[in-house]
C-alpha cells in the first residue's frame, strides 16, 4: 500500500489486470482456428493456421514491447496486425479474405470467455461513483469492442463516462495522449486524475508522461512478470479493488482533515 495521497477528482482505469482478468489462454483458440479455416475455404490447413496464430501472437507481443520503448507509440490497424504477423505466407485469396474480416476476427482473438471482474472492483467503482468521481477506461488492446462488451455484460459500463482503447483511438500506452484523451472526455484536468494500471512500463509510465495526479499500480500476474523500470515508481501499490477502495477512503479522510 502507498502513503497518503491527495483525493482524486477522477479515475482512469486500465482494463486487463485491473478491471478484469483471465487465465492465459492458447495463442491459437480452437474457435478462431475453425473460423479462419472456413473463411479461407480450406486453402490453409488448420495446423498451419494454429502455428501461424501462435507465431503471430509472439511477434505481435514483441512488436508491442519494441514500440512501447518509444515516446509516443501508436496502435496498428486490425488489417496490419493480421497481414504483418499472421497471414503473410498465405495464398493471396486467403489473405484477402482475412483482410475483409479483419475487425471481426480481431474481436474473436481478443475475447476471453474466462474474463472475470477482479475482487473488490465493483465496490471500488460504486464508492467512486457515489463520491461523484468521473471515470474512464484507458486500455491497450487489439480489439476494444471485446472489452466494451465484457464491461456491459458485467453491468459495469454505466460506471464509465468514456472508454478509450488503443485500436480505436490510435495512441497506445505509454503514449500519454491516450490518457489525455480520456481526461479531456470526462472534463477533468489530468493532474486531478488517478491512473490505475498493472504495468509499470505501460501504465505507470503513461501516467507519469501525461502528468496524472497519481500512478496506482494494481498487482496482477503481468506485474510479476515485468522487469523493474529504472526510472518509474508508482505512488501506491494495491493488490485488488478492496485495497484501492481503502486507499481512496484514506485520501478522502486526509482531504477532510
Q: 3-state SS string over 27-72?
A: CCCHHHHHHHHHHCCCCCCHHHHHHHHHHHHHHHHHHHHHHCCCCC
Please tell me whether residues 87 and 167 are part of one structural domain: no
Do 105 and 44 sit in the same domain of this protein? yes
Q: Does some domain include residue 2?
A: no
In a shared domain, residues 165 and 198: yes
The tally of domains found in the chain comes to 2
- Whether the pTM exceeds 0.85: the reply is yes
Q: Please, which residues have CB within 8 angstroms of residue 17's CB and are 6 or more apart in sequence? A: 118, 197, 198, 199, 218, 220, 221, 222, 223
Question: How many angstroms from the chain centroid is the CA of residue 238?
Answer: 18
* Within-domain flag for 3: no
Give, for 122, the enclosing helix (H) or strand (E). Answer: helix 121-130
Compute the distance between CA of residue 59 and CA of residue 86 in angstroms, rounded to an integer: 9
Each residue's pLDDT expressed in tens, for the chain with a length of 257 residues: 445 799 999 999 999 999 999 888 888 999 999 999 999 999 999 999 999 999 999 999 999 999 999 989 999 999 999 999 999 999 999 999 999 999 999 999 999 999 999 999 999 999 999 999 999 999 999 999 999 999 999 999 999 999 999 999 999 999 999 999 999 999 999 999 999 999 999 999 999 999 999 999 999 999 999 998 999 999 999 999 999 999 999 998 765 54
Q: Are residue 80 and residue 174 in the same domain, yes or no?
A: no
Same structural domain, 75 and 57: yes
Measured in degrees and rounded to the nearest 5, phi and psi for residue 59 equal -70, -40
- Asked whether residue 1 is domain-assigned, the answer is no
Q: Are residues 160 and 94 both part of a single domain?
A: no
Indicate if 130 and 237 belong to the same structural domain. yes
Whichever domain contains 157, its CATH number is 3.40.50.1000
The predicted pLDDT at position 137 comes to 98
- Distance CA(215)–CA(18), nearest Å, equals 13
Structural domain including 237 reads 10-22+116-256
Same domain? 226 vs 135: yes
Beta-bridge partner residues of 11: 135, 194
Of 89, 110, 131, the position where a domain reaches its end is 110
- Please give the pLDDT value at position 1: 44
pLDDT at 158: 97
Total Cβ atoms within 10 A of residue 239: 14
Tell me, yes or no, whether 240 lies in a domain.
yes
pLDDT of residue 3: 53
What pLDDT, on a 0 to 100 scale, did the predictor assign at position 255? 58
Report residue 164: phi and psi, to 5°: -120, 120
Amino acid at each position: 500500500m502507498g502513503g497518503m495521497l491527495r483525493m482524486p477528482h477522477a479515475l482512469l482505469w486500465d482494463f486487463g489486470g485491473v478491471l478484469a482478468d483471465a487465465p492465459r489462454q492458447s495463442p491459437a483458440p480452437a474457435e478462431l482456428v475453425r473460423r479462419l479455416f472456413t473463411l479461407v475455404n480450406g486453402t490453409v490447413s488448420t495446423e498451419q493456421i494454429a502455428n501461424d496464430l501462435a507465431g503471430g501472437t509472439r511477434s505481435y507481443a514483441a512488436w508491442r514491447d519494441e514500440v512501447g520503448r518509444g515516446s509516443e507509440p501508436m496502435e496498428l490497424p486490425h488489417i496490419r496486425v493480421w497481414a504483418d504477423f499472421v497471414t503473410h505466407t498465405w495464398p493471396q485469396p486467403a489473405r484477402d479474405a482475412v483482410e475483409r474480416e479483419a475487425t471481426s476476427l480481431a474481436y474473436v482473438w481478443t475475447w476471453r470467455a474466462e474474463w472475470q471482474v477482479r475482487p473488490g472492483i465493483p465496490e471500488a467503482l460504486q464508492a467512486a461513483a457515489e463520491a461523484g468521481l468521473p471515470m474512464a477506461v484507458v486500455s491497450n488492446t487489439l480489439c476494444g469492442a471485446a472489452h466494451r462488451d465484457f464491461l456491459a455484460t458485467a453491468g459495469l459500463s454505466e460506471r464509465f463516462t468514456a472508454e478509450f482503447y488503443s485500436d480505436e483511438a490510435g495512441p497506445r500506452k505509454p503514449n500519454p495522449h491516450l490518457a489525455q484523451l480520456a481526461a479531456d472526455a470526462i472534463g477533468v484536468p489530468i493532474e486531478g486524475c488517478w491512473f490505475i494500471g498493472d504495468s509499470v512500463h505501460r501504465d505507470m509510465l503513461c501516467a507519469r508522461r501525461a502528468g496524472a495526479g497519481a500512478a496506482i499500480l494494481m498487482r496482477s500476474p503481468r506485474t510479476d512478470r515485468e522487469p523493474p523500470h529504472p526510472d518509474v515508481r508508482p505512488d501506491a501499490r494495491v493488490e485488488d479493488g478492496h485495497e484501492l477502495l481503502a486507499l481512496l477512503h484514506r485520501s478522502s479522510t486526509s482531504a477532510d482533515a
